[in-house]
């Protein structure tokens, strides 16, 4: 029924028991209704519920952890979870169920976080299980994990702001002064109104090292120290450098994570030991059962969940003759054993939601932590100044203790004691009040001397604290020191391994070929020969192109795999069987042409392996050396070409290879030599890393070569060694130079 646009309001009358104006229909525009009613709710969800802040916590997390901190649960015994939930309701009025759910997700027992904040006892369920529910709060116990000491360090020294709780009876912190970038260390997801946040977890040690590197050098390449996320389930991350560079830059994107498995040959079964964080064991098992019933997976006889005290374990029994690796490749495509993790690094910065890349996030955290440190130093400075002020007043009393006693004794009224002391010794009211409160037993020279001895120490401390406040460098050094302490104390090895995306494709059956002894030769100009031992003994001198020389000679078998590294940061993979047997009297195969390399591409080095065990050393002309496991180049497929074989930031001088850690000789254009022990270098997770500075060079100099150190080459090897890197190395001594000439 149509209604007039304007209606006159009925006359208001006062009647007992009747509400005036009841039933009157008032018109209101829909946008206005949404703005006045829905917008406050939306803002509340965004600001106070779903989006984490720069300290890495949502309000519900922060309220729970702060309550546990105030309950003294950072040390001592655990208490019942119900007790914690009840105490938290003083800060969080959303109900006990919501608070307990929050505590469960932060607990060690739930296993959702790389570094749990709650040390739990009892059944807290598992993040990878949909049906494994946690016990009620009255049955479980909890306390704060030791790492929480880094979250609350100096919180009582005015490092962060405090606000009233919902009923104005208590104070709570707006942020926690975390000494490490917790926002990136533990995964955090939330869905607000019109926006969401999804932050993946990263390895604590790698995050701290990256934060330190960015403080020292804002242009630091993050991928070198923090190659990829790390998940508590230990799943395998499909690594694509371009994908992660985009995520690190924009804070948005997605990458693939796949399950980690092992094949038990004796039981003929596959054990899935780690799954993506976006799925559950029940969902995987149900999908596999459906595929088996549908006739799509005929190699499987049974699948079951064998999760126990040792952690997650899904067992897949195979039928006789089934290939476990090929089956897993199919399962990756057909089930959530391989899944995508979407990133949306949406964080509240100064009350506004912002999507930040990793660099910006760490810069914002550094700015936040800088303010925390400055506030702490200022708090300590004021306390020391106050104490110094009191002691200076006490020091004046030392001049005439009898006079102080006489003033107190001869003052008629108690209220006049402080003013009389102020007049008698020329001190202010605060100092006089402090002196007046001294016990009679302390009015002796020994006590006053002991107290006033602190004056010099306090003055030194105050000067030092004031110098920190006036120096940005000193504040940064404090942050770096704290980050190093956290990394050393709480850092753990990566749980998630990396699998290069370019190497993952359908496996092709390999033809069986005969395996027999061969000698392999690779020359500086890029020629390759495969010669049998008999042919080598019967043949004469090696035929080489004019000016060419043999760079590497290896005794192996024809089934060995060959890796040819090129001048375009690529590696070409082949097998010795791909080359025909030849003789010493021929030039051999030209590798760039044989393997179809790009135009202008040259083979620099050949590495021979059967098991991909060993260490590669990439030596760059700028003095940096990258230590990479040869395993990083292993693939289960017939990939012939891998890009990003090594860093392109500086020209490559040489490549070294050894089965394990050993000593190598680096030679610079200046003639200096450095004896390098590879155990001093940390193995890098990514192939394209620049490595670390090893040899210090002057302008115009470069590293030219690397070669294994042969015992006896130097009379005094210690001359060329260094305990710290980078090092200059040393020129050849006269004895070593003579020995070098005799070898030539």
**CA 278 to CA 235: how far, in whole Å?**
11
CB 606 within 8 A of CB 561: no
Across 210-237, b (16+ Cβ under 10 Å) vs e yields: bbbbbbeeeebbbbbbbbbbbbbbbbbb
Scan for tokens 């932590």, then name that residue.
Answer: 369
3-state secondary structure of 611: coil
Q: Which positions ≥6 away from 331 have C-beta within 8 Å?
A: 288, 297, 337
Q: Is the peptide bond prior to 227 cis by the omega test (within 30 degrees of 0)?
A: no
Q: Which two tokens stand for residue 313?
A: 């374990």
Q: Which positions ≥6 away from 558 have C-beta within 8 Å?
A: 513, 514, 515, 516, 517, 518, 530, 575, 576, 577
Q: Which two tokens stand for residue 462?
A: 């105050």
CB 531 within 8 A of CB 582: yes
**CA 172 to CA 151: how far, in whole Å?**
14
Picking from 267, 115, 238, the residue whose alpha carbon sits closest to that of residue 178 is 115
Measured CA to CA in angstroms, residue 647 lies from 221, 224, 242, 604 at distances of 12, 10, 14, 15
Picking from 514, 522, 520, 550, the residue whose alpha carbon sits closest to that of residue 532 is 520
Picking from 225, 210, 208, the residue whose alpha carbon sits closest to that of residue 487 is 208
Active site residue 139: yes
DSSP 563: E
**CA 351 to CA 437: how far, in whole Å?**
47
At residue 550's C-alpha, the angle toward residues 545 and 554, to 5°, is 140
**CA 395 to CA 451: how far, in whole Å?**
8
Q: Which positions ≥6 away from 736 have C-beta within 8 Å?
A: 713, 714, 715
Query: Which residue in 41, 110, 139, 490 is the catalytic one?
Result: 139
CB 602 within 8 A of CB 632: no
The residues annotated as belonging to the active site are 139
């Amino acid at each position: 029924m149509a209604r007039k646009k304007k209606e006159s309001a009925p006359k208001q009358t006062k009647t007992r028991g009747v509400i005036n104006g009841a039933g009157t229909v008032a018109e209101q525009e829909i946008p206005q209704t949404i703005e006045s009613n829905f917008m406050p709710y939306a803002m509340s969800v965004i600001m106070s519920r779903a989006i984490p802040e720069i300290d890495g916590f949502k309000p519900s997390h922060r309220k729970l952890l702060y309550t546990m901190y105030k309950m003294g649960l950072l040390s001592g015994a655990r208490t019942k979870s119900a007790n914690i939930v009840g105490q938290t309701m003083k800060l969080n009025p959303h109900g006990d169920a919501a608070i307990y759910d929050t505590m469960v997700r932060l607990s060690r027992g739930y296993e959702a976080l790389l570094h749990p904040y709650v040390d739990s006892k009892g059944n807290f369920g598992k993040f990878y299980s949909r049906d494994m529910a946690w016990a009620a709060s009255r049955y479980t116990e909890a306390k704060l994990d030791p790492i929480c000491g880094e979250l609350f360090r100096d919180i009582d020294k005015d490092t962060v702001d405090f606000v009233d709780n919902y009923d104005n009876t208590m104070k709570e912190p707006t942020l926690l002064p975390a000494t490490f970038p917790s926002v990136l260390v533990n995964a955090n997801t939330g869905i607000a109104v019109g926006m969401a946040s999804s932050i993946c977890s990263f390895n604590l040690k790698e995050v701290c090292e990256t934060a330190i590197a960015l403080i020292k050098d804002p242009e630091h390449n993050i991928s070198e120290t923090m190659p990829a996320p790390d998940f508590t389930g230990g799943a395998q991350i499909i690594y694509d450098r371009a994908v992660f560079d985009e995520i690190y830059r924009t804070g948005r994107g997605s990458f693939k994570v796949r399950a980690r498995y092992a094949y038990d040959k004796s039981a003929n079964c596959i054990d899935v030991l780690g799954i993506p964080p976006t799925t559950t064991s029940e969902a995987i098992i149900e999908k596999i059962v459906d595929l088996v019933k549908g006739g799509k997976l005929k190699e499987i006889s049974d699948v079951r969940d064998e999760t126990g005290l040792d952690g997650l374990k899904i067992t897949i029994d195979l039928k006789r003759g089934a290939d476990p690796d090929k089956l897993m490749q199919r399962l990756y495509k057909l089930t959530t054993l391989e899944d995508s993790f979407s990133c949306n690094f949406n964080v509240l910065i100064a009350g506004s939601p912002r999507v930040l890349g990793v660099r910006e996030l760490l810069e914002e955290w550094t700015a936040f932590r800088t303010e925390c440190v400055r506030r702490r130093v200022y708090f300590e400075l004021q306390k020391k100044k106050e104490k110094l002020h009191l002691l200076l007043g006490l020091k004046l009393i030392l001049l005439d203790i009898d006079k102080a006693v006489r003033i107190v004794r001869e003052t008629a009224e108690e209220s006049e004691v402080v003013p009389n002391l102020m007049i008698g010794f020329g001190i202010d009211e605060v100092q006089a009040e402090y002196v007046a409160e001294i016990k009679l037993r302390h009015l002796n020279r020994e006590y006053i001397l002991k107290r006033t001895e602190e004056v010099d120490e306090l003055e030194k401390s105050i000067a030092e604290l004031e110098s920190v406040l006036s120096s940005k460098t000193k504040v940064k050094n404090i942050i770096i020191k704290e980050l190093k302490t956290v990394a050393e104390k709480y850092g753990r090895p990566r749980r998630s391994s990396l699998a290069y995306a370019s190497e993952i494709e359908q496996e092709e059956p390999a033809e069986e070929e005969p395996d027999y002894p061969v000698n392999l030769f690779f020359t500086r100009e890029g020629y390759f020969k495969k010669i049998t031992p008999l042919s080598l003994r019967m043949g004469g001198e090696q035929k080489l192109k004019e000016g060419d020389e043999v760079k590497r000679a290896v005794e192996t078998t024809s089934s060995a795999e060959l890796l040819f590294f090129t001048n375009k940061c690529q590696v070409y993979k082949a097998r010795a069987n791909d080359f025909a047997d030849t003789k010493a009297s021929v030039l051999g195969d030209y590798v760039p042409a044989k393997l179809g390399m790009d135009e202008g591409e040259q083979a620099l080095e050949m590495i021979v392996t059967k098991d991909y065990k060993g260490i590669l050393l990439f030596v760059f002309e700028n003095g940096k050396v990258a230590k990479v496991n040869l395993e990083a180049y292993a693939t289960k497929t017939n990939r012939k070409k891998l890009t990003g074989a090594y860093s392109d930031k500086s020209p490559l001088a040489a490549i070294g290879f050894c089965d394990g850690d050993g000593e190598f000789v680096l030679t610079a254009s200046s003639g200096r030599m450095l004896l390098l022990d590879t155990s001093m270098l940390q193995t890098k997770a990514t192939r394209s890393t620049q490595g670390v500075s090893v040899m210090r060079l002057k302008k115009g100099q470069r590293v030219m070569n690397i070669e294994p150190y042969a015992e006896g080459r130097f009379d005094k090897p210690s001359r060329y060694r260094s305990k710290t890197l980078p090092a200059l190395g040393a020129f050849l001594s006269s004895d070593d130079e003579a020995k070098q000439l005799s070898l030539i």
